[in-house]
Amino acid sequence: MSLLRRKRKYHIFRTPRFSRFFKRNTDAVSFKGNRVVLFRNGGEFFLALFRALGEAARNVCLEFYIIKDDRVGREFADCLLAAAERGVEVTLLYDYFGCIDTPNSYFRRLEKGGVSCLPFNPPTFKRGIHWLDKRDHRKMAIIDGERAFLGGLNIAEEYAGFGECLYKWRDVGIMIDGPAVEELRGLFWDSWQREGGMVPVEWRNSIHPVPEAGGDEVMIVSGGPHHNRSFIRGSFRMAIAGASASIKVMNPYFVPGPRIVRSLLRAVGRGVRVQLVLPAISDVPLVRLVSRGFYAPLLKAGIEIFEREGTMLHAKVMLIDDYWVTIGSANLDLRSFHRNYEVNVIVDSHDFGSQVADMFAADLAKSRRVTLDEHERRGWLERLLERLLTPLSRFL
């Protein structure tokens, strides 16, 4: 194969034809002129987020799945109250079930201090019983409409460390400056309005352009149960299909279903190196048990599976050809595909991709490789439980 043909193949996902096909099938929205900053752990992420909240001048929009009344949660609340006190408009959308252990007094304090709080999907039968299983799994903060923070991090102490002990989980976040932030703020107001919140008059039927801040191209992919098909799953599958050299994945809840499995098998079949970093321990043991039920066909095909040790892995990252990065709230599981509101950011940047590749290599060094021989020697009870629990995978 000539150098030119190899180059074309390596950059297939960057061709206009692939880009148009991707956007058409995932409803992705693309923006140039952004600056994306990687936070390799929650300690860095929260330091930057709290600093930005302290500098907010006009408005703050926040959407989080879990907010706990612990040290980090209280510092978060203090930042919001301080912003509201100096005249910043602060709106907070939180998932009712995700925050079910958080006392009502936490949100009453915020409301009393001028923060507009709204729970997502509180129990009601107006939408039907099936709606009770829907979650707002997004985690994002938009500051003054020009800067956004997002990733897999909830507002809780276990997310705010450096990922090297059982009490400080391993997670990843990003900050975006530039035009893509406007799309994220629009998603927030759509969710806010869907839950009965009032949208500011200046936001109705209006566009607020954000100036360019860098050279990174960003695509936003959102998904939810209101869609007829899963754009989140579609974006993962198409990214895998566009890979020419390598696919590197870190994900905490790996229950991918047959379509993602087939996509990974096709990739390795055409010579792509596929590496999965999954958790050695999990806060949801049933999910890990079901997850291991997918290992055998992947290992037999030559896919490399590693289990991150020393901490609880919560990072949700996919890196294609060390260039195209997906980071966001979505897990590689059926709940994220069909039952949660999610948002992922795709960054097309060689520099950013290199940073993620270095981060992945560091996590790989702290992971243990799973071999097919070892996996086949697991006990009969574990095999039986995998079979019995697999039909429940859609609800885990």
Which two tokens mark 341?
């509101």
Pairing of strands 324-328, 340-348: antiparallel
Tally of CB atoms within 10 A around 258: 9
Tally of CB atoms within 10 A around 269: 10
What's the Cα-to-Cα distance from 300 to each of 237, 275, 368, rounded to whole Å? 20, 13, 18
Pairing of strands 273-279, 304-308: parallel
The DSSP element (H or E) to which 301 belongs, if any, is none
CA dist., res. 117 & res. 192, Å (int)? 10
Which two tokens mark 83?
């912003």
Cβ atoms 160, 117 nearer than 8 A: no
CA dist., res. 291 & res. 314, Å (int)? 15
| Residue 101 exposed, middle or buried by CB count within 10 Å (0-12, 13-18, 19+) | exposed
Cβ atoms 306, 278 nearer than 8 A: yes
CA dist., res. 313 & res. 309, Å (int)? 8
CA dist., res. 192 & res. 120, Å (int)? 8
Cβ atoms 174, 345 nearer than 8 A: yes
CA dist., res. 180 & res. 214, Å (int)? 11
> Which of 204, 193, 187, 305 has the alpha carbon at shortest distance from 254?
305
Rg, C-alpha atoms of the chain: 21
Which two tokens mark 103?
């006392």
CA dist., res. 150 & res. 148, Å (int)? 7
Cα angle at 315 between 313 and 321, to 5 degrees? 120
Active site (catalytic) residues: 137, 139, 144, 314, 316, 321
